[in-house]
């Protein structure tokens, strides 16, 4: 692996209750008719609810029993040991993590990592800003972007 891009990742802090509430609200809203579901996307802060194909896929998987493990919280030492360039894209409104706190933590323990907080996005960052996510992945690692400090 030459480089790693993490998009609003778990594992950097314990799973917060607000994420569980966000996920449950999204699951309930996903069952609503399309028009109402699209309106609720803004209310619950989940842009994925506006993606009709994704909702169809999600519904198709409801009958599949799965165990979704809670990711362990990585230690500072584990983070420092990552041997490749890393960029982290964080949703400014993420229900999973405190983007500002994680950015500050990573700046202190992994200063070579490129961290970007994307305004106006949440944990559904790839759905809410797909062009930005794709551009960041395709151009990393690469030279710093002028004017961004990254």
Mean of per-residue pLDDT scores for the chain: 89
Residue 100 is predicted with a pLDDT of 97
Average pLDDT of the segment spanning 94-115: 96
DSSP-derived 3-state class of residue 149:
coil
Tally the C-alpha atoms within 13 A of residue 94's C-alpha that lie toward its C-beta: 25
| Whole-number percent of the chain with pLDDT over 70 | 93
Is 36 part of any domain? yes
Residue 143 is predicted with a pLDDT of 55
Kindly report which listed range (69-78, 86-95, 122-131, 136-145) carries the lowest average pLDDT score.
136-145
Average pLDDT of the segment spanning 61-75: 79
Average pLDDT of the segment spanning 108-113: 96
Q: How many domains does the chain have?
A: 2
**66, two tokens:** 């799965």
Residue 142 is predicted with a pLDDT of 67
Is 65 part of any domain? no
Residue 148 is predicted with a pLDDT of 46
d(CA 139, CA 150): 13
Alpha carbon separation from 89 to 37, 41, 73, 95, 136 (Å, rounded): 26, 21, 18, 14, 9
Q: Mark whether 82 and 47 lie in a shared domain.
A: no
Q: Mark whether 43 and 98 lie in a shared domain.
A: no
Q: Mark whether 53 and 84 lie in a shared domain.
A: no
Is 88 part of any domain? yes
Alpha carbon separation from 139 to 9, 36, 48, 87, 106 (Å, rounded): 19, 37, 25, 11, 21
Q: Mark whether 33 and 103 lie in a shared domain.
A: no
- Residue 124: CATH number of its domain: 3.40.50.1820
Q: Mark whether 90 and 39 lie in a shared domain.
A: no
Is the pLDDT at 28 greater than 80, yes or no?
Answer: yes
Q: Mark whether 113 and 102 lie in a shared domain.
A: yes
Q: Mark whether 29 and 43 lie in a shared domain.
A: yes
Range of the structural domain that residue 102 is part of: 4-15+73-138
């Amino acid at each position: 692996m030459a480089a790693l891009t993490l998009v609003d990742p778990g594992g950097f802090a314990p799973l917060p209750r607000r994420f569980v509430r966000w996920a449950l609200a999204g699951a309930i809203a996903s069952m609503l008719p399309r028009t109402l579901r699209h309106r609720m996307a803004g209310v619950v802060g989940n842009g994925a609810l506006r993606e009709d194909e994704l909702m169809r896929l999600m519904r198709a998987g409801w009958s599949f029993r799965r165990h979704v493990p809670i990711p362990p919280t990585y230690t500072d030492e584990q983070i420092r040991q990552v041997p490749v360039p890393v960029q982290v894209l964080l949703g400014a409104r993420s229900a999973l993590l405190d983007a500002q706190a994680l950015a500050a933590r990573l700046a202190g323990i992994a200063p070579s990592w490129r961290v970007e907080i994307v305004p106006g996005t949440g944990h559904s960052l790839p759905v809410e800003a797909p062009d930005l996510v794709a551009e960041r992945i395709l151009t990393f690692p690469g030279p710093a972007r002028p004017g961004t400090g990254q």
